[in-house]
Structure 1
Amino acid sequence: MAGNGKKHLMLGNGFSIALFPQIFNYKRLAENIESDRIKLLFEAIDTPDFEFVMRRLLEAEEIVKHYDSSDGITNHIHNDIEELKRTLIHVISKCHPHKPSEITEHQYSSCRKFLLNFEKGNTYTFNYDLILYWVLMHFHDHPELKLPCDDGFRYPYSDEYVPEEERDLSLHWEIGRERGQSIYYIHGAMHIFSDGSDIEKLSYTNLGVPLAEQVRQAIDEDRFPVFISEGSTDHKLARIKKNGYLSRTFSSLKSITGNLFIFGHSIRDEDDHVFDFINQNNKSLRVFIGLFGDIGEPHNQVIISKVEKWRKSYRGKVFEFYDSSSVDVWGRSSHA
C-alpha cells in the first residue's frame, strides 16, 4: 500500500459485503423485517436503506413538533424511531453468519495479509458485525501469526489473591485502562453491550458459546448492543458524546499520524461527523479513499464530489484516491 509513515485503516460496510454479499446489504436486511408497522414504513418511503428511513423519521419528528400541540403524533413517530433501532439490531443478528467457520482458511489468511499492512497503526470500523473480530481471534492463539488486536477491553480483576469464584471474568472497557488500544468500533458493535454506565464485551472464551448465539440470546432478553443507528450525522454525534467508549474512540482520531486508508466506505453524508472531525482536528494526516469499480459510476462520482469539497475546505491537506478493487482482502476464491 502507498504512503510514507504509519498506516491506519478505516473499514466501511464494503469490507463485509465483499465476503458475504448476500448478507451485509440493506436490501437483504430489509427483507427480514418482521414488524408490520416498520414494513409499511419502508414501503411508504420506498427504500431498503435503514439510515435513510431513520433520517426521514427524525426530520418528521422535528417538523411535527411545531404543529402537534398534544404530542400524539410526535410520540407515535418517536416510538417508530425506537422500534426501527430495535428492528435493525434484530435483523442484523438474524442475518449474521452463525459461526466463524463460515469463513474459509484461505479467506482468513488473505485478510490477515491485508491487515498486516496496518499492524503498526490503528484500525477503525463502522461495521456492527463480528467479521473483523473473528479474523483477529482466528490467529490469536498462534504467536507467530497473531495480529495486533487490542480493543481496550480488560478483565477487571487480575489480583491472584481474589478467589476464582469471586472474580469477574467478563471483559470491560474503562477510561484510563485502555492504553494500547488499537482496534476501534466507531459506532459500536454487536458484541459490545452497555447498561448505561458499564461497558462489557461478549467473549467466546468465557462461555464457550458462539458469539453470534450469545448476541441473539441477549437480544431475546431485551439486552441490546452499543449500536449507533441514528440516521443523521448530528444525531449520531449526539449519541457518541453520551457514551464513554464511543467518545474516546472518536477523540483518538485526533492523535493518529501518517496515513489513513479508507476501505469499503461510500463516504455517506450520514457519517460526515467522523470525516469532518478528522479533517478539522488532524491537519497533517494523509487520507487515501478507496474507489471500487469504474471511476465514472455514480457511487464513485458521489465520493469524488465529496472529496473535492474537502480539498477546497481544507487546503494543504492531502486526499488521494486508490482502486480498492485491486486490494484482494478475502482472496480471489471468496464468496464475492
Structure 2
Amino acid sequence: MELDPFDAGLCAWPELKTTCNCTGLLVGNGASRAVWRNFAYDSLFERAQRVRNKPLGQTDLALFKSMGTNNFEQVLSALNTTVKVNAALAISSSSPLNRYYAIKEALIHAVRSVHIPWKLVQPTTLQTLNDELRNYRSIYSTNYDLLNYWAIMHNPEGFKDLFWADNGFDVSNTVTQGTRILYLHGGLHLIKNLDGSTRRRSATGSPLLDGFAINTPGDVPLFVSEGNAQDKLSAIRDSDYLTWCYGELASHDGALCIFGHSLGAEDQHIIHAIEQAGIKTLAISVFPLSEASIISQKQHYARLFIGQGVRLEFFDSTTHPLGAAELNVPVELLGPSKRKRSR
C-alpha cells in the first residue's frame, strides 16, 4: 500500500517486501550507524583537523584550499603524481612526499576515530547483514566503511564485488551471476592506482582495518567522503571503477530499496542516477523518531521525486534486518580512554 507522505503511517518491512520485489538496495550511512553510532560524523575533513594525534596542519589545509576540495583522495592523488614527476625530473624536493605522509596520517587517525574496531563486530551481526544483502541482485553502497565488506567476506559464496584473482578491477570483465556489491563512493579496502585504475586490498578482517593505518608511499585510498554533488561526481569520473558503478545505478532495472540514505543536497548525483534509470518503485526506510519527523522525512522524499511517476513506499527502518536494534554495538565497549580520543 502506498502511504500518504502527509501522515505518520509506516509499513513494516516484512509486510512490504511481500508486495514490493526490490532487485536492488541503495545503502547509506544510516545502516552503518545502526551498528555503530560513531559513524554519525559530520565531516571526515573536519575531524582530521581535530584528532589528537597528528591532525591536518596549516600547510596541509592550504593544499586542500588551493585545489578547491575537502576530498582526501584528490589531494593525495595530486601529491602522489607530483612525487613521481619530481623523481623523473630529478627534482630533489621532499616537500610533496612529506605532505603526502602528513595528510595520509591525519586521515588514518580520523578514520580510526569513527570506525568500529574489528574485535567488537560479532559473527552474528556479520551473518545477519550477509543474509539480508544476498536478497538483492545489486547492492549500491555509498559508505566507505568496512561493515558491508566484512559481512560479505563472512560468507562470500554467491557474492561478487567485480574484483578478480589479482585484486584488480577490469571494466571489460564485469558480467557475473549472484549478488553484486558496488561501492559508489569507494571504500577503505580500495586503492586508486596512479593511472586511475582500481585495485582491492588483499587483507580481510582485522588486518584490513589495521593495514589502512600503514602509511605506504603511493597508496591512495579510493573513497569519496566530502563535497557537494558536483564535486563527488567529478571524483567519480576520475576513476574507472567508480564511473562504472555509477553507470550501473543509472541503468538499474527493477524496484529499489533505499535504506539509511537521506538523499540530501550533496547526493543530487545519486538522485539523478535513479531518475536516469527510470525506476518506478522506491521502498524507502524512515527512522521513526517522532510523528513530526516521520512526516518531514516522507515529504522530503516526495519532493525529490515529484513528477517522476515514481511509486514511493515508506517503511519503518527498525523493522528491517539492517536496522534491527540487536545489531547496535555500544560505543561504551571501547572503554573511557578510547571513547575520549574518538570524540
TM-score higher than 0.5 here? yes
Match of 2:224 in 1: 228
Distance, in Å, in 2 between the alignment partners of 1:204 and 1:272 is: 33
Match of 1:8 in 2: 24
What secondary structure, in the 3-state scheme, does the structure 2 residue paired with 1:256 have? coil
Deviation at 1:306? 3.0
Equivalent position to 2:239, from 239, 243, 249: 243
Match of 2:135 in 1: 117
Deviations 1:145-166 (A, max 9, x none): x3x32111012xxxxxxxxxxx
* Conservation of the 8 A alpha-carbon contact between 1:13 and 1:126: yes
Deviation at 1:178? 1.8
The amino acid across from 2:284 in the alignment is I
What secondary structure, in the 3-state scheme, does the structure 1 residue paired with 2:140 have? strand
Distance, in Å, in 2 between the alignment partners of 1:83 and 1:239 is: 9
What secondary structure, in the 3-state scheme, does the structure 2 residue paired with 1:246 have? helix
Deviations 1:28-55 (A, max 9, x none): 96353643657xx9xxxxxxxxxxxxxx
Distance, in Å, in 1 between the alignment partners of 2:323 and 2:312 is: 26
Between 1 and 2, higher relative CO (CA 8 Å, sep ≥ 6) is seen in 2
Q: Equivalences for 1:104-143 in 2 at 5 Å?
A: 104-118=122-136, 121-140=137-156
Deviations 1:168-221 (A, max 9, x none): xx400011112227110010101110123231100226xx9711122111x454
Equivalent position to 1:294, from 289, 298, 315: 289
Cα 1:304–1:36 shift into 2, 3 Å: same
The more displaced of 236-245 and 222-231 is 222-231
Distance, in Å, in 2 between the alignment partners of 1:294 and 1:201 is: 38
Please say if 1:320 is aligned against 2:313: yes
TM-score normalised to structure 2 length: 0.69
Cα 1:81–1:173 shift into 2, 3 Å: same
Match of 2:55 in 1: 35
Match of 2:5 in 1: none
Deviations 1:236-264 (A, max 9, x none): 11111221101110010133222111111
Match of 1:193 in 2: 191
Q: Equivalences for 1:1-336 in 2 at 5 Å?
A: 1=14, 2=17, 3-21=19-37, 23-26=38-41, 30=47, 32=51, 34-35=54-55, 37=57, 77-78=65-66, 81=69, 86=103, 87-88=106-107, 90-99=109-118, 101-118=119-136, 121-140=137-156, 146=157, 148-155=158-165, 170-180=166-176, 182-197=180-195, 198-204=197-203, 210-217=207-214, 219=215, 221=217, 223-279=219-275, 281-294=276-289, 296-298=291-293, 300=294, 303-314=297-308, 316-329=309-322, 332-334=325-327, 335=329
What secondary structure, in the 3-state scheme, does the structure 1 residue paired with 2:163 have? coil
Deviation at 1:320? 1.9
What secondary structure, in the 3-state scheme, does the structure 1 residue paired with 2:257 have? strand
Deviation at 1:115? 2.2
Distance, in Å, in 1 between the alignment partners of 2:67 and 2:279 is: 43
The more displaced of 227-236 and 80-89 is 80-89
What secondary structure, in the 3-state scheme, does the structure 2 residue paired with 1:204 have? coil
Deviation at 1:90? 4.4
Q: How many residues align?
A: 272
The amino acid across from 1:233 in the alignment is A
Distance, in Å, in 1 between the alignment partners of 2:112 and 2:289 is: 33
Deviation at 1:323? 0.9
Deviations 1:247-289 (A, max 9, x none): 110010133222111111122211111112211x122441111
Percent identity between the two aligned chains = 25
Unaligned runs of at least 5 residues, structure 2: 1-13, 74-102, 331-343
TM-score normalised to structure 1 length: 0.71
Deviation at 1:292? 0.4
Distance, in Å, in 1 between the alignment partners of 2:316 and 2:285 is: 6
Match of 1:54 in 2: none
The amino acid across from 1:35 in the alignment is P
* Conservation of the 8 A alpha-carbon contact between 2:27 and 2:259: yes
Deviation at 1:225? 0.9
The amino acid across from 2:161 in the alignment is D
Unaligned runs of at least 5 residues, structure 1: 42-72, 141-145, 156-169
CA RMSD of aligned residues (A): 3.0
